[in-house]
Amino acid sequence: MHAKSYLFVPGNRPERFEKACSSGANAVILDLEDAVASDLKVDARQTVAAWLSTGGRAYVRINAADTVWYAEDIAELVKCSGLLGIVVPKAEDERALRAVAMALPEGAVLLPLIETAAAFDQLRAIASVPLVQRLLFGTIDFQVDTGIQGDGDELLYFRSQLTLVSRIAKIGAPVDGVTVSIDDGGLLRAETLRAKNLGFRGKLCIHPKQIPHVHAAFAPSAEEIDWAKRVLEAVNASGGSATALDGKMVDVPVISKARDILETAGISVI
């Protein structure tokens, strides 16, 4: 299963790398872009590359394609044995992404950050690039780019597009953007549940405190697990015949949903 939580860590803070990996986050993204000042980017790249070449394992967000650091970021990182994948910010150009994919070492993947109107215009092409595992939604930069105010219903159409295109491309479910509040667990849980209900199965995080709330929101509820168990019990008891549960017909999509809930919860499915 793909990661539910991706924790950003500044690429110039190597003392945090191991802590991030033991924070409970499903995945760690070492950040060379927003978290690192311009005059520190080269040193940060060298620090990240050294860590990934001596046992560390993580994804890396490189600098955008229109910066002077982009090409060298890719050239250095693809040599690193611990590189799990490259997060490409402001991904818009299918051809540029294909070039990155061709340079990746075996086993590494691409995680394009969809952060601009131009990216949505090219969304299906981006999702079809080889080695693209999932699409990440950079909600804050997208709002800046489009002038949209608000992160709720204002972005409903765009979140739905990410879910739809990901399904058509047969890649992993999309990953939602960050919640900037670190200490408001209620807000974080509500925003993660909203993303879950829209078909997202992961969220970007900026602090280890956010991880438990994200995991709890993506986990099936006790009611969902109970329902799923009863569905499969009813199916098994029917011996393959048509059956119903709570007055509703149990058909193939219902069975698939029940199995998915239990698998997500880590419960064995017979």
**Residue 229 pLDDT > 70, yes or no?**
yes
Residues sharing a CB contact under 8 Å with residue 5, sequence separation 6 or more, in sequence order:
24, 25, 26, 27, 202, 203, 205, 210, 211, 214, 215
pLDDT tens for each residue of 16-25: 999 999 999 9
Q: Work out the average pLDDT over 117-128.
A: 98
Q: Cα–Cα distance between 31 and 48 in angstroms, integer?
A: 9
What does pTM read for this prediction? Answer: 0.91
Q: Cα–Cα distance between 78 and 195 in angstroms, integer?
A: 32
Q: Work out the average pLDDT over 217-246.
A: 87
pLDDT tens for each residue of 49-65: 999 999 999 999 999 99
The lowest-confidence range among 47-51, 134-138, 179-183, 217-221 is: 217-221
**Residue 270 pLDDT > 70, yes or no?**
no
Q: Cα–Cα distance between 197 and 67 in angstroms, integer?
A: 36
Show the domains of the chain with their CATH numbers.
5-218 (3.20.20.60), 222-264 (no CATH)
- Bigger pLDDT: 103 vs 269: 103
Average pLDDT of the residues of the chain: 95
